[in-house]
Amino acid sequence: MKTNRKRLRVVPVWIVVSAFLLSGCNQQLIVDRITMINILGIDERGRQIVGNAIYSDYDRKEKLKFTQGIGQTTQLVFGEMQMHETKPLRLGKLRMLLFSKSLAEKGVIRYIHSICRDPLINSYLIVAVSEQSTEVLLKQLGKQRSDKLPNRIIEQNEKAGNVPATNLHTFMFNYYGDGRDVFVPYIGLSGDGVIEVKGMALFQEDKLALVLDKLDTVAFKLLQPKFEKGFLTVRFDDSEEDFPAVLNLVSGGSEMKMTRSDSGIGITFHTKIYGFLKDQEERVDIREQKDFEHIEQAVEKEVNRKLLVLLKKLQERGIDPLGIGDFVRARDKAWKEDEFYAHVYPKVKLNVVSEVMLKESSIGN
């Protein structure tokens, strides 16, 4: 093996450079002759599958183009799409797989298996659910530039800390993993017809079971093992009236801890939040130690309430996107998934203990 490595090291530089340039030219030639789909949306029309695709037309300054195919299988859908195009359609650059809400409620895994069988598909592509049909949503993009693609909107919201980061890899991990459920971004059209992130879509098995709005999505993010950035609206209750403020999240995370007793299992989420306040009322002066401590305690109380409300909502619906079942499974050799969710999960005692540490930078606000 050492000899082979040495031989690789003494290959003349010009050969390596030439091979690189030649392969690059060849790849460019191929790209010029095919059409790479950026986003693929799936709807259902009766017993037919409706595929809606967006791709960048590089002959027209990267303007987005819409194409559609209808059939009883995904292969027939692609076949009909191809009839409308002058170049072969390929999925190698697919960035987003989108399902309409109505279709997601019936199940999506068979479509994912069929479409993602292509070995060139990246596991980091975004899977999402659309409030409207994907046809209605994607047609809004016609003749716009590629920077308006909804996958970029989702990526920006992930970077800003508004939604947890997800992709095809996390989808499959949560779907096939024991004791956990799938969650993906939920998008739709605003009143002005603009595509926006509206929350998170939570699944049970491969079927959409619950949609979290923007406020619940922030709470859901705080229950993740690690998070950065974002905003949380909190209300403080003083002796006169309650008043709002915005908690600017810097970083933090939640850790689960389990207790056992004769009455059953208890799960406590210990949540740490580092942040600073913005837009608080003038009557609160956080430069005063008394006010500073009062605000931290008030924020902790409000965070505990918001997170516990969400946890109980998930429990009541039998959904486990936070992986509580997986957490218990790792600590119980006799754990069985069906038995846990049928008899144990509905009775788990849930609790939240938050620790909020306000940054001194809040004084400047």
What would the DSSP string read from start to end of 295-343? HHHHHHHHHHHHHHHHHHHHHHHT--TT-HHHHHHTT-TT--HHHIIII
Give the Cα separation of 358 and 348 in Å (integer): 32
Q: Domain spans of the chain?
A: 34-212, 218-364
Task: State the helix-helix crossing angle for 289-317 and 214-222, rounded to 10 degrees.
Answer: 100
pLDDT in tens, the chain (365 residues): 434 433 333 444 443 444 444 444 444 445 567 889 999 999 999 999 999 999 987 666 668 899 999 999 999 999 999 998 888 989 988 999 999 999 999 999 999 999 988 888 999 999 999 999 999 999 988 766 677 789 999 999 999 999 999 999 999 999 999 999 999 999 999 988 889 999 999 999 999 999 999 999 999 999 999 999 998 888 766 545 566 778 899 999 999 999 999 889 999 999 999 998 876 555 555 666 666 777 788 889 999 999 999 999 999 999 999 999 999 999 999 999 999 999 999 999 999 999 999 875 444 44
Domain 218-364 has CATH 3.30.300.210: yes
E-assigned strands of the chain? 35-45, 48-57, 63-71, 89-90, 96-100, 126-130, 183-189, 195-204, 207-212, 227-228, 231-237, 242-261, 264-278, 349-358
Angle at 165 between CA 159 and CA 166, to 5 degrees: 145
